[in-house]
Amino acid sequence: MVQKTYLVVHGQEDLEKHPNVLGLLVRVDKTGMPLKDEHGDFIPVSYKTNEIEQGDQVVYYTTGDHMIKGIFEIASDRLDKNDFRRVKEWKHGRIQFVIQPILEPDVGVALSALIPKLNLFRHLKNPEKDYRMAIRGKNYIRRLDPHDSRLIENALHANVESGRVTKRSAPSRDQIMTRKYGSHGEGSEHKMLKERVASHPELLGLTNVQNVDIEHPFISGDSADVLFEVHRDRYVVVEIETDYPLPGCYQALKYRVLQCAETNENINSASVEAVLVAKTIPPEVRNVCAKYSIRPVLIKS
């Protein structure tokens, strides 16, 4: 199952008082009593609440200061009414989940600074002026696409104080490049082929590409030559080889598993594809590709 990311709007006091629990509002009648559906479950203010599952991520935005405070993981299923982890002061006025921080810098990010780049508000005539009205206050919930998720994550990373370790901390890009290519750096032929593939996904038969990342870094300190984000939450990791390509099969296999882990997928998920691009593909290389579902693509020049 593809990991989902939601923008959730809350009051500043909710995060300060209860940083480990997310409480989503429910509908009430005229007397203030919570409304229930035919199954006896509370009806959430936002229908998106029913989509949220354990393992999903929440971008936590607080009203008042208009700041994105961090990214949290939903660490539990919806808490039962008798669960000891529930916040008692909310009583039955909230649908509650346990959350844990993934990326929570000491200083948050002003949402206004990201508005021009976010796809979420592109439907507005004047996004920079109208986004606050669109959010409509507390308990606004919207699912974010991969572009917006990464944009917010990068902005939060930039605000993490030097030396602070977070769950998703990774080596710097310079460190990864040195580890991958050695002190002499990347060869010119490899770099040219990599940039050509990144600029022309049609060479791999890809369409509806939403984002391209060259030397995509993983937490492990590895990096894929190219990562394509494709329509419908699909990913394609690409390994480029200009000489003997057999080691590239194993690199592509590793990157596929790492990407599955990064998106909380099963390692055999059909949502993540591995591609080996090489100038020659001998029979033994094709055999390894076939055995481990790596798609070989021959580009001679």
> What is the per-residue pLDDT for 168?
45
Max CA separation in the chain (angstroms): 74
> What is the per-residue pLDDT for 129?
78
Q: Can you list the alpha helix ranges (DSSP code H) found in 137-181? A: 146-158, 173-181
Q: Name the residue with tokens 């989503």.
A: 24
Alpha carbon distances (Å) from 172 to 47, 110, 183, 184:
39, 24, 15, 18
> Distance (Å, rounded) from C-alpha 296 to C-alpha 191?
19
> What is the per-residue pLDDT for 89?
83
Buried b (16+ CB within 10 A) or exposed e, 26-42: beeeeeeebeeeeeeeb
pTM of the predicted structure, to 2 decimals: 0.52
How buried is residue 188: exposed, middle or buried, by Cβ count under 10 Å (0-12/13-18/19+)? exposed
Alpha carbon distances (Å) from 132 to 6, 110, 204:
17, 12, 41
Q: Mean pLDDT by 10-residue block, N- to C-terminus, for the chain (301 residues)?
A: 82 85 88 82 86 93 86 91 84 86 86 89 82 72 92 85 44 65 76 94 94 87 92 92 91 95 88 95 94 95 73
Long-range contacts formed by 79-85: CB under 8 A, 24+ apart: 79/21, 85/21
CA 233 from chain center: how many Å?
Answer: 10
Cβ atoms < 10 Å from Cβ of 214? 16
> What is the per-residue pLDDT for 163?
41
Measured at the alpha carbon of residue 168, what is the angle toward residues 77 and 147, in degrees to the nearest 5? 80
Domains of the chain: 5-158 (3.10.590.10), 173-298 (3.40.1350.10)
Buried b (16+ CB within 10 A) or exposed e, 112-141: eebbeebebbeeeeebeeebeeebeebbbb
